[in-house]
Structure 1
């Protein structure tokens, strides 16, 4: 496991002393508050009695999302549908600097946690709503990560057997969360922030538009130059020799061949017949002979085992990396460098979770992911609730404390034998 040092002052904790309330589910809002937590903020994750959806995604128990993005947070469970629960939430909100959620717009209004509701409780609160669409004719419509991909051109470019398909990882959710953090930090840094500044709307759709800006500008450029819309192909298709190729032993290697100099180094490193061929020296010429170039690179890589190819490419100064399966990603020495991994213990299992980028010193221990409502009693006491009041709220179901048994992983029967690493 990665090494850690005892708790102590953390110079990279600029948000220490700030309280952030998260009313989030799935990825977007939890990812944003994960970043804020890594920057030192106290994050209190508020969940309904039924829990965040990601608490029951893997065999009835928590998924990797909870482990990766909720460590370091405190957990409170509140039923906002009960007046007593809403009163607890509003008292909690009054103590906060930031509130972030990704509820559907109508759900937020129904629960009494819209921007106006929260401003009446805490006029200085930074209110951040990550939603499907920001202001505009679709602002009340629902959208998820793949819907945003479909709406902004990404899915049309990513087809599996001809069918438009989602990318896989929820990048639009994560980018939306990151944009939310940027807006929140900008507001915290602004001593003259207005009410309008403190109300932040981040849409998955608008996030997708911004991410696609280069491609959207590119298709407009081609339309005006050529008189017809023409999309740039993806990087590996636009530049022959830039992509994944299979080695003799069935492993895949991704080559970084962006420039003419890269091409020259590749052909020399692998002693290819195309080395020094003036007909292929320029990218524009290689594009015209795409099939020839692709076949040449494919054949050259296919002559060697991965280790042999890697040695030759390294010696020749060619950029490359193995296409790594997830189960082997954290084996690499680069991943295991000090500051890049955090040890997280959860329900008797040990995890190594990638740390927020920029950490160069040993990672300090932090809170494990909270069970549902794990810190409810503690937080209520800090808010001034007497023991009897807390007991009454628990009895009424306005708040909740649950253990690991609430979302237990189903036992694994007839477990298949482990696959050797690297197989």
Structure 2
């Protein structure tokens, strides 16, 4: 059984897309109760795939309760503030201007619950750009990642929203630190995590390396990434069209590779050292490509295993969960959502035996939470009639039918 250090803690999430929902997903795995607050129109991820919920909602919002509140109404903001008064943590990733407009900025929340931990994941933390908007790819572009990732010469986002997810993880670390030793000063309960600052921290190795080269060589020069710095370290295609990623980093790795694939270069002393292989990069790369492309994937991997060469197959998404390592007990959680079945990867570490709720529909727990806050049935009906809150509607956010060919 996994330890649940946050059992009994209530976290209010006002999140959209990835960063805040990912943070509260982790907090839920650690035992916290998560209440997702959405506007009547729902989180953006509810309508991203053919008019219906995306994988983001399914993967990162199971285990949460959901209440739909119209914060633009007086009755709605009153409900929200009553909810805030019961919470230990409030986390959101609204734009700063939106947070102020909706009256959920740090000062607004502290006035209702002075002891709450307030966490705002935003584009930029304090500084000249603190009110500017930023998304995951903006953080990639601004911190050097995108310049290195090009498709047909054009700087391009990585694809997965890693900066969002890292920002969410950093938020969890800060929240956990605050919960471990309750802060005494109000400012210590006010946590800001910027996507830009997250990107800077992630790039710190590369930024320091570039500065090092500049001072040693007298000119700006960044350190090459691992696979570009070390010939033979990267992806190569086998004869049957499958890609294998080779972990050839050291001189010992090179010797094992050349012997495993019976390459002519195994007897060439000129290539024994990494420095020499770098000087003959094109020759080394061509040699490895030739060796791998001359064998089927099964033959390549059998030889690599025999000689202890590190490798993995470059897996397409549709095959990732077929791997025996992924199928090992404790790696995946079965979820049912709208009659569809999903396997979602578990949070790394001991697996929680907590019985998580399926991903919630918009407003699924609105009445339940209102009643918990002390509202009578008549009060609930009045709030619904005034559109201050909203109930789940099964007809909303349905996936468009896919028309089968023929």
TM-score computed with the length of structure 1 as normaliser: 0.94
Q: Deviations over 1:178-204 (max 9, x none)?
A: 000000000001134421111000000
Give 1:12 deviation, angstroms: 1.9
Once the two structures are superposed, residues 238-282 of structure 1 have per-residue CA deviations (whole angstroms, 9 ceiling, x without a partner) of: 110000000000000000011111111111111111113211111
Correspondence 1:2-41 to 2 at 5 A: 10-41=1-32
Match of 1:196 in 2: 187
Q: 2: CA distance between counterparts of 1:146 and 1:378?
A: 38
Aligned twin of 1:383: 373
RMSD across aligned C-alpha pairs, in angstroms? 1.1
Report what 1:218 is aligned to: 209
Does the 8 A contact of 1:339 with 1:362 survive in 2? no
- Alignment of 1:242 with 2:237, yes or no, is no
Match of residue 72 from structure 1: 63
Structure 1's unaligned 5+ residue stretches are 1-9, 417-423
Between stretches 273-282 and 242-251, larger displacement belongs to 273-282
Q: Distance in 2 between matches of 1:234 and 1:191?
A: 41
Is the 8 Å Cα contact of residues 143 and 204 (structure 1) preserved in structure 2? yes
Q: Deviations over 1:53-89 (max 9, x none)?
A: 0000000000000000000000110000101000000
Structure 2 counterpart of 1:146 = 137
Segment of structure 1 superposing worse, 199-208 or 278-287: 278-287
Report Cα offsets for 1:8-45 as digits up to 9, x if no partner.
Answer: xx542111100000000000000000000011100000
Choose from 147, 153, 157 the match for 1:156.
Answer: 147
Aligned length: 406
- TM normalised by structure 2 equals 0.98
Corresponding residue to 1:336 among 327, 332, 336: 327
CA contact (8 A) 2:119 2:190 kept: yes
Residue 409 (structure 1) aligns with? 399
Deviation at 1:234, TM superposition (A): 2.1
User: 2:232·2:246 contact (CA, 8 Å) conserved in 1?
Assistant: yes
Offset at residue 160 of structure 1 (A): 0.8
Residue 263 of structure 1 is matched in structure 2 by: 254
Q: Which stretches of structure 1, 4 residues or more, deviate above 3 A after TM superposition? A: 361-365
Question: How much does 1:401 deviate?
Answer: 0.8
- Which residue in the other structure is 1:372 paired with? 362
- 1:47 — aligned with what? 38
SS at match of 2:175: helix
- Preserved contact between residue 48 and residue 80 of structure 1 (Cα < 8 Å): yes
* Distance of 1:243 and 1:367 partners within structure 2: 41
8 Å CA contact retained: 2:3, 2:352? no
Partner Cα distance (2:14, 2:352) in 1: 31
Equivalences for 1:65-214 in 2 at 5 Å?
A: 65-214=56-205
Q: Distance in 2 between matches of 1:363 and 1:326?
A: 27
